[in-house]
Structure 1
Amino acid sequence: MKKILFVAGLLMLGQASAASYVSNDAATKTATITVNAGEGGDNGGLNFNGADHGKKGFVIPAGWTVKMVFKNVGMMPHSAVVTKGKTPLSSITEKDAAFAKAYTSKLAGGIAGGSKAETVMFKVGKAGTYNLVCGVPGHGLGGQYVGFMVSGTAKTASFE
């Protein structure tokens, strides 16, 4: 019985921490977002934080700085870039980033699964609708993207 309760507690603990993809520092207007590529098996591993095809997304207050902590927890290489528009592009380069420095290294080739986390910082501009997309060819079109909305009314960042 103790083993069952222990395992159930671990499962619940894992679920609680998995939901914590955003932290806010209102004083410095900085949102720290965690982006886990290939988390779980949803969409064959083509996902961010278990979400794909824009079903979920980050909301960031306009003018804030974003500290994106990117980790590839999947099996295949992945990357991340914030792009303009509502649908992913067929081919993505650093020039397609909606904000200066809003992308990980090795954008087209991807970062290998199990690599150390990579942190990038960028400042978001005015309110608008964007996407956080994997830059590895075919991944974005395969559904590896989540929304990235810059809001003129949000007081804190979130992942919904």
Structure 2
Amino acid sequence: MLRLALTLLCLASLSPAQQPAAPDHAHGTTTEIPGLKKELFAGITEADFMKLGDKPKTVKLVLVATFSAANYGMNFNGYSHGKAVFTIPKDWTVDVTFINPSPIPHSLVVVEKDTTKKLQMGEPFFPGGGVPKPEVGLSLTKAEFSFVTDETGEFALACGFPAHAINGHWLALNVSADAKAPTLQLGDKPVVEAK
């Protein structure tokens, strides 16, 4: 909680030009977040968010915190509040690349969907399903982790930094016994199967 208080204090002390931009409600977008290390995610497109792995029953995900200024930068790949939905078949291995180009700490941890309503995320639901110390977060860096979807249900790919998920910094992760291949739906766009 002390770290959260310090982060909020730091944000409050920024000049108006340095503060995260307010949303442009007419277009659903916002201006740019300052201080991003853009080279960490240069060239990453929607096609990179989910791909089949090199081994059978393996999928690779790329999640970039603060991909855009949407939701005041608390987004993954430009989406928040579960508006992007990853569906993974049961018993698949998920290899995740997490990127935070922002100086503000963010993290990534797989939790049960209802956990996003809490201030703190706790331990990952699946063994290995998160960056180390998600409550502390990472800044201006990349991290990788892997987990196996050995239980079905509705989960979330959430920022584990205190109070971020409750403010919408999470995407939906559904593990399905019926799914034949991993799929991704970004907002209202059509569902796309991993290639």
What's the TM-score once normalised by structure 1's chain length?
A: 0.81
1-structure distance, mates of 2:115, 2:81: 9
Cα distance in 2 for partners of 1:73, 1:58 equals 22
State the percentage of identical aligned residues.
30
* C-alpha separation in 2, matches of 1:106 and 1:126: 23
Q: 1:105 touches 1:111 (CA, 8 Å); kept in 2? A: no
Number of residue pairs aligned between Structure 1 and Structure 2: 142
Change (3 A) 1:145 1:17: same
- Distance (Å, rounded) in 2 between the aligned partners of 1:107 and 1:33: 18
Give 4+ residue runs of structure 1 displaced > 2 Å after superposition.
none
CA RMSD between the two structures: 1.9
For residue 141 of structure 1, give the secondary structure of its aligned residue in structure 2: helix
Q: How many Å apart are 1:57 and its aligned residue?
A: 1.9
Which of 14, 17, 23 is residue 51 of structure 2 equivalent to? 23
Tell me which residue corresponds to 1:125: 150
Q: Give CA deviations for 1:116-156 in whole Å, capped at 9, x if unaligned.
A: x2110110113211111101011011110110001112222
3-state secondary structure, aligned to 2:156: strand
Partner SS for 1:60: strand
Residues 79-118 of structure 1 deviation map (CA, whole Å, 9 limit, x = unaligned): 0111113450221222xx2111101123111100x21x21
> Relative to structure 2, which stretch is displaced further, 150-159 or 58-67?
150-159
Does the Cα contact within 8 Å between 2:115 and 2:121 map onto a contact in 1?
no
Q: How does 1:5-24 map to 2 (within 5 A)?
A: 17-20=44-47, 21-24=49-52
1:90 aligns with 119
Deviates most, 79-88 or 143-152: 79-88
Structure 2 unmatched runs, 5+: 1-40, 186-195
> 1:3-152 alignment to 2 at 5 Å?
17-20=44-47, 21-25=49-53, 27-86=55-114, 88=116, 89-94=118-123, 97-112=124-139, 114-115=140-141, 117-152=142-177
Residue type at the aligned position of 2:88: I
